[in-house]
Structures are given as structure tokens and as C-alpha cells.
A and B are shown apart, each in its own frame.
Chain A
């Protein structure tokens, strides 16, 4: 029993948790921006799927074309970088559909998100067939070379968390801090929040509500796409159908638990990341492994059940905005 407890706090586990937090965190951050503007985006799962596919596919394609010319060095960074970029672009393009349908046409945002998820699944299979001939997975790829934290890595006890870190991890942390700062201290952040709280007030002061909402949704798309790219390039080393495993939805739970602030989403995502890591590590246990794999999902339900009462979403979240007619 003490063994089990000790292993729950082991550094290797923490390191794994950090890695698994990243995709949830990035998507949750994207969700924060979208919902702060007042647009609910259930389609983030689909955006992540697009990110996983395009990330892997473009990385593979670039690696095939560039590497033979000059192996190693800058070329080895080019392929995954191109993949990450492609993943972000795919996320933006996909979320653009949601923006058009939900903001311009003012369709119910939940429905739009659900439709988007359906589209993503079919599109991913189709594109995979197009690119690689099979429906459900891509060839293996190599991601960024992981780096080590200088100094800390020398300490054997800290080795697990100081070595083998993907460059995207610090990117994610910086994104959270930047996101928080932008929301609180910039003109853009103030206006985005205004549009999510009371679009009528913002409109009367000359702020373009639709434009701000588009911005929030597209930022969400970029971050969700990046999250997907990280999943396939840095973690999965390739695209596999279903690899997102519902993380797009878990990210929404993290956003809620974080009370719609980037810093809060960080804490919440870390919690889910921890359980995700736990589910991968607890191999010998009397609990059947199938249930361990859905540990993050169970935790999500518990979190939502416990927290919703104290949640304070943006006041106009999820409500399409119609300009006053009369």
C-alpha cells in the first residue's frame, strides 16, 4: 500500500503528468479565449483531431522531402516545426467554420460544435487515405529533439523531470502566462471580455462584436490545433485515429474548473494530466485496466459535479448576439 502511495508521488509520474498536461492545457487555454468572447466551442475535440492529423502528416511529408538532402541539424527541427505550424493552421481553418456558423449565422453553438466534430472524424479518415492510403494511421515520425534543463539534470533525484522535455512544454507555460496577461492588461483582452459579458454594451460603444468573437474562436482554434500537433508529433510519434480520446472535452471541464482564467485552467489541466499519467502507469492493480484508462473521464465528472455551483462563466457565454432591431 505504501508502495502504491509513494508511486503516486514519484517524479517519473510527475514528469509524465507534465507531458500529458500539455495538450489539455493548450486546448483549455484556447477554450478560455473562445468563451471569454462568448462563444462556446464543443468542436475543440474535432479541432484537436485536425491538429493531430495535419501535424503528423506535414511532419512526415517535410521530413521525407528535406531530410535526404541534409540529415540532422536544422533539418531535423524543420519537419516537426512545419508540422506544428500546419497543425495550428488546420485548427484555425477548422474553427473558422465554427465562427461563421455560430457568430455570423448565429446557429446554436452546441449544435455547431457537434457538427464540427462529426466533420473532423470523417475528414481525418479521408485525408489519411489520401495521404497515406489507409484510414486510421500515419507512418511514424520524429518529433523535436527533447532538451534537458542544464544544471538540474545533473541531480540524479531530479533527473526524471529535468530531462527529456519537449520544447512545446515551455511554450505551453509561456502561452498560459501570456494569455493571462493579455486578458487582464491589454485593450484586446478587455474588449474580448466585454463582448463575452455584455455584447450590447460593447456594441453601443462602437466595438465590433462579431470581429472580437471571431478572434476568440480563431485563437481557440490555433491553440487546439497546436495541442493536437503536440499529441501526434511529440507524444504519439505519428497519427492514430482516436488518439485524442476525448481530451477536447476534458479541456472544457478544465476550463470550467479554472473558472475561465488561463491560470486556473493550468491548475485544472494539471489535475487531469496527473490522472492521465496515473492511468498509464498503474499496471498492476486489482482494478481492471479498462477502468484505469477512463480515470480522467471519471475525474472530469466528479470535478464538474463538485464545482459547477461556484463557477462564474462570462455572462453572455453561449448566447448568439443579435444587434438590436428596434
Chain B
């Protein structure tokens, strides 16, 4: 419940019949919404439901094709971010828009710099910054280079950026996706403090537990329309999920019992270099058996990326050993490891997984293009490739106008299906899946998780790396918690609570702040 009674009767923000079209899709369909001053209002929906678009309209990055926006009862025209900022709307982006080489102060004041006749006055900037931090209880060093800050600290910089410009309405776009449970608590503490100071907060998320923990009211979007606005008290995750998808959703997939076989992948004492020459992985050891899913839980940035790259041969091991299918591939390389039957679902499909301008069928054979089915001598065997592609598209229900469509034209979910279809194609022995459901909607997420379980049933040794704790908890047979490049704890399925794992994810210590209880007031 908001702790201040609203000063005016009209809502802080009112959206009336907002409609927005993009080529081929109706992103927002006559959306009407009221956000009260001094409340934390959550906006939930699947990927593609239109929440991001709506908020970008509110921030002036897009113009609606139809509809009105009112602030405190008066119609406003948000033609640009500058205008929105001037009217007191501030956006904290999901992908931080921070300049790593600039300092905190420089990032915060950019565009609204204190100056005298064109000359920067960074001292004034520092003073104002310190005052803001004191007022809202943030801890930030104005002269620190943003690139050296932790993710949680960077997010604080983003929040201070909007407060610096006098935001009264803060929009947070998927703020908790990259935070540890502890950092989420810190963030929520900050948000409650902001609410106490009379700020209005719009919180976009698809992580339902958190939405229920922090929001006063929740609006659910589905396919561009509002399907309901409810008070957060008394609502269950299942109810919200059903509203989001339009049908009852299986939040947990059934896990068949499988008895693990021989060890297929073993890493001992792996040390891998990260940015600036410092080791990102410091002596990680684990073994994965056939028919087993080893889940690596951890907040992004703790060495998972580098570890996965080392496992598939894209990054060299400075020390330690990697053994796959009994072969020492410590100094292998992507090709050698692939030939041992290792399938890899990369964490960034656009970077490592697909050659976007190439056709779907060409992407389906990427990495396997040298096989006899696809090659005769120096030339490619087009019939073989086409037959294979048709089979894969059918088996995995990949939605594409044709096999010749370039991969960049496909949706994220279908792109991921292309990758999954490819990596599963040649009876692999090991599967390494990194953040496989990132950016996918509930339907595609369900599909990919099913495939991972299928792989396990088929006897593959699976390494699953995910920043989504519930994904690891539901799929993994054994869980390794990674923190600062080290596996700090290992548990079997059901052997630890989420809170415990979260504690290990942050290094086993609390941050020193008092833990805030999760239930809303």
C-alpha cells in the first residue's frame, strides 16, 4: 500500500487507447491504463506482449499511432526522450546505456551537464551527485569508471541518472534479470524508499515471484492488449501466468528418472583468462555423466561465459585439464571438440549460434558442413542439405517461409529452434547449453527445456548454465554454484533451498545490509 495519500485525484500517468503498429505486427492494441502516483505498478507479459513498446512510447522513443497520454490529468505529447525527461519521466533500461570508459559522474550528467560557457563543471556535478546519493541512500563513487563497477552498482548509476533529471515517474525495464538475490533485495529496498519519497514506479518484468514481492498493482499484457489489472495482494503466480498466456501453463516439467552412466565430460582445475588478462575461471573441477544434467547456477559475470567457451574450445585453458569422451582435449579447439560429439547452444545466438544473413538451411549445417552427407569432394551436396533441412524443420516445428529464408528474418524462438535442431542432429554425446531460454517467451522456453530433458533421457551428458535459478532447480540433477570463477558449492537435486543457493551465488556472505523481508507491506 502506498504510504502517501495521492495529492491529486488524477492518476500520475494515464494511457488511453494507445495503439502502435510495426511492420507486420500490432504491438499495442488500444491499451488503456492508469498508474497512481506513489505506487509501484508492475507490467507483466510474455516477450512480444508489447510491454517494452508501451514503455518506449511513454519515454518518447516511439510515437503512438493513436491514443492519448495524460499526466496528472493533462494531456501530454511525448515526442522525444528529452521531452519525457523534462516532464519527469525517467527510464532505467534493461540493457544499461552506460559508457564504460566514462566515470559515474560523467555518465549521470551527460546531456544535462553543469557548465559555464561551454566549459564542463564537473565539481558541481560531483556535489549534486553526492547529495542525490545521500538523499536516496545510494552508495556510489562519482569518479569510478563505470566499466569497473558491478552490475548492481551500474544499475544504481542508471537510477541516479533519472533522479538527477528530476524524474517523478521511474520506468524500470526488466531490472532484476542480471541481479543476484541479494542485489534484488537491495534494489527493492531502494524502490520502497523512492516510493516513500512520493515517486511513482513502473516495473516491467516477467519474473513472477519478484513482481508479487514488490508491486502494489499488476497489469498483464497479452498480444498487445491489457487482459487485467489486479492488486498484488492475494494473487498467485499461476493466476498471473494463465493471464499472460491465455491458458493454464505448466510451470514445472515432469522429470523422468534416469540412471546416469559413465563420465563423459570432466574438467579438472580449469583456469581460463578473462578480460584484462585476469583469470575469469579459477580452478573449476566437475564431472558430468551420461544421462545427467549438471546445472551451473550463478549470476552472469562470474565466469560462466568463459567457462563455457573453454568447454567448447573457443577459449584456451591456462591451466587444468579438459577430458571429453575419454580424450584429453585441453588444447583441442572448437573443431576437435565438435568432432567428439559435443553440441553447443550458445548464450548469444546472434553472435555464436547463427550466421544471420545466411539461409536457414545453411545455418542448419553450420559446423557439420564437411560431413559426407553434405559434401561430395570439394563441392556441397545440395540435395543432401535440403533433405536434412526439411527433416529438421518438420521435427522441430521451425516456422519459416522457406528453407532459403535468411535466418535474420526468423523470430528469436524459431532461431533458437534452428540451433537446437542442428546441435541435436548427429547423436551428440555431450550437450553444453548456455542460457538457452534467454529472451524466449513461455512457449519457446517450454520447448527448449523439454529438449534439454530429452537429451538427458537419450543419455547425453548435459551441462546447463543458467542465470535463472528456477530453471536450474527444475532441470538439474546436480547443481554447481559458480561465484567469482570458482564452483563454491555443489548440491544434488533438492539438496538446497533457493535462498541457500542464492547465498552461495553471492559468495556466501550477505552484503552487510539488513535483509529486507520479502512480503509487501
Instruction: Name the one of B22, B93, B99 contacting A197, with C-beta atoms under 8 angstroms.
Output: B99
Chain B residues near A189 (CB, 8 Å)? 120
Contact with A along B67-105 (1 / 0, CB 8 A): 000000000000011100100000101000111111000
Tell me whether A194 and B102 are in contact (CB under 8 A). yes
Residues in A with CB closer than 8 Å to B110 are 190-191, 194, 201-202, 205, 207
Beta-carbon nearest neighbor of B165 in chain A: A205
Interface size class of A (residues with CB under 8 A): 20 to 34
B506 within 8 Å of A (CB atoms): no
Interface residues of A in 85-132 (CB under 8 A from B): none
Number of contacting residues on B, CB 8 A? 29
Task: Return chain B residues, CB-CB under 8 Å to A190.
Answer: 106, 110, 113, 120
CB distance from B155 to the nearest CB of A (A): 14
Given contacts A198-B99, A324-B61, contact A207 B118 (CB under 8 A): no
From 19 to 36 in chain B, residues with beta carbon under 8 angstroms from any chain A beta carbon are 22, 27
- Tell me the interface secondary structure of chain A in the complex: helix
The residue in chain A whose Cβ has the minimal distance to the Cβ of B84 is A206
Answer whether residue A315 sits at the interface, using C-beta atoms and an 8 A cutoff: yes
Cα A324 to Cα B85 with chains together (Å): 18
Residue B115 CB within 8 A of the other chain: yes
Residues of A near B99 (CB, < 8 A) are 194, 197-198, 201, 315
Taking CB as reference atom, which chain B residue is nearest A314?
A: B101
Closest CB in chain A relative to B116 CB, distance in Å: 10
Interchain nearest-CB distance for B479 vs A (Å): 36
Question: 1/0 per residue A171-204: CB within 8 Å of B?
Answer: 0000000000000011111110110011011111
Q: Tell me, in angstroms, the Cα distance from A206 to B119 when the chains sit together.
A: 19
Q: Is the CB of B119 within 8 A of A201?
A: no
Residues of A with C-beta under 8 A to B56: 324
- Cα of A17 to Cα of B416 in the assembled complex, Å: 59
* Of listed B98, B111, B112, residue having the most chain A CB within 10 A: B111
B residues less than 8 Å from A187 (CB atoms): 113, 115, 118-120
Complex contact A326–B100 (CB within 8 A): no
Select A206's contact among B80, B93, B118, beta carbons within 8 Å.
B80
The answer to whether B111 touches A326 (Cβ under 8 A) is no
Choose among B81, B112, B119, B120 the residue that contacts A204 (Cβ–Cβ < 8 A).
B81
Q: Complex: how many Å from CA A189 to CA B119?
A: 9
Judge whether B304 is part of the interface by a CB distance below 8 angstroms. Answer: no
Q: Are A200 and B118 in contact (CB under 8 A)?
A: no
* B120, A201: Cβ atoms closer than 8 Å: no
Given known pairs A190-B106, A197-B102, A324-B61, the reply for A202 and B111 (CB within 8 Å) is yes
Which of chain A's residues have a CB closer than 8 A to the CB of B53?
Answer: 326
| B97–A204 CB distance below 8 A | yes
Q: 8 Å CB contacts to A: which residues of B456-496? A: none
CB of A55, distance to nearest CB on chain B (Å): 30
Q: Contacts A186-B118, A206-B82: A201 and B113 contacting too (C-beta < 8 A)?
A: no
- Which residues does chain B contribute within 8 Å of A188, judged by CB atoms? 118
CA distance A188 to B81 in the complex (A): 20
Are A204 and B93 neighbours in the complex by a CB distance under 8 Å? yes
Q: Which residues of B contact A198 (CB under 8 A)?
A: 97-100
By a CB distance below 8 angstroms, the chain B residues around A193 are 102
Give Cα A202 to B110, complex, Å: 7
- Contact partners of A324 in chain B: CB under 8 A: 56, 61
Shortest A211–chain B CB gap in Å is 13
CA distance A323 to B138 in the complex (A): 32
Cα of A188 to Cα of B119 in the assembled complex, Å: 9
19 residue pairs from A and B, CB less than 8 Å apart? A185-B119, A185-B120, A187-B113, A187-B119, A190-B106, A190-B113, A194-B99, A198-B98, A203-B81, A204-B61, A204-B81, A204-B93, A205-B81, A205-B111, A206-B80, A206-B82, A206-B85, A315-B99, A326-B53
A-B pairs with the 5 shortest C-beta distances? A205-B111, A206-B82, A201-B97, A198-B99, A197-B99
Task: Write the residues of chain B forming the contact surface with A, with a CB cutoff of 8 angstroms.
Answer: 22, 27, 52-53, 56, 61, 80-82, 85, 91, 93, 97-102, 106-107, 110-113, 115, 118-120, 161
Residues of A participating in the B interface, judged by any CB pair closer than 8 Å? 185-191, 193-194, 197-198, 200-207, 315, 324-326
